[in-house]
């Protein structure tokens, strides 16, 4: 009977939240057993597949030897912010996904603020798409901007 932890991916639309969620399930399934969830299994509503965005929250579960995780993949699009809030309200920790190619965008800021308002106690950052940025200084700038945003909303930056 392992401790249960609620986590979730939040951040701007198209920054890679669902891709990261699928990758986490894949790596943990290969490492510890269990089942992986492919990207198209997570965003499985016809409109989500058609538009290429997450609309409603999706739920996946996975295990490590120490814990059982319930993971909510939240939509990043501004039109579906209510769905993001519903998913975030239950989180013990959030994974803020930021694409290095864009840096923090409007929904990045809004998701950090909403995370603070609904009481997400911990926030970690996954900087995605770093392989698509050739300039090391640009990566450092994106990291600095994200740290400043986290600090602004009273998360450790």
Active site residues: 14, 17-18, 77
User: Which of 76, 39, 32 lies closest to 57 in space, CA to CA?
Assistant: 76
- Neighbour tally for 129: CB within 10 Å: 17
DSSP helix, strand, coil percent of the chain (3-state; round to 5): 45, 20, 35
What are the distances in angstroms from CA 124 to CA 7, 80, 121, 142, 154?
Answer: 10, 22, 10, 15, 13
Place of tokens 């911990």: 122
């Amino acid at each position: 009977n392992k401790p249960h932890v609620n986590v979730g991916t939040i951040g701007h639309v198209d920054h890679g939240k669902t891709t990261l969620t699928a990758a986490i399930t894949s790596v943990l399934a290969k490492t510890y057993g269990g089942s992986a969830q492919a990207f198209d299994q997570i965003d499985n509503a016809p409109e989500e597949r058609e538009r290429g965005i997450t609309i409603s929250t999706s739920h996946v579960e996975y295990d490590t030897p120490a814990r059982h995780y319930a993971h909510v993949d939240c939509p990043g699009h501004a039109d579906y912010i209510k769905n993001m809030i519903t998913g975030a309200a239950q989180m013990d920790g959030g994974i803020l996904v930021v694409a290095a190619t864009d840096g923090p965008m409007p929904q990045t800021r809004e998701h950090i603020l909403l995370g603070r308002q609904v009481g997400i106690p911990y926030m970690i950052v996954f900087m995605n798409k770093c392989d698509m940025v050739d300039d090391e200084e640009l990566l450092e700038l994106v990291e600095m901007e994200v740290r400043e945003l986290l600090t602004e909303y009273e998360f450790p930056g």
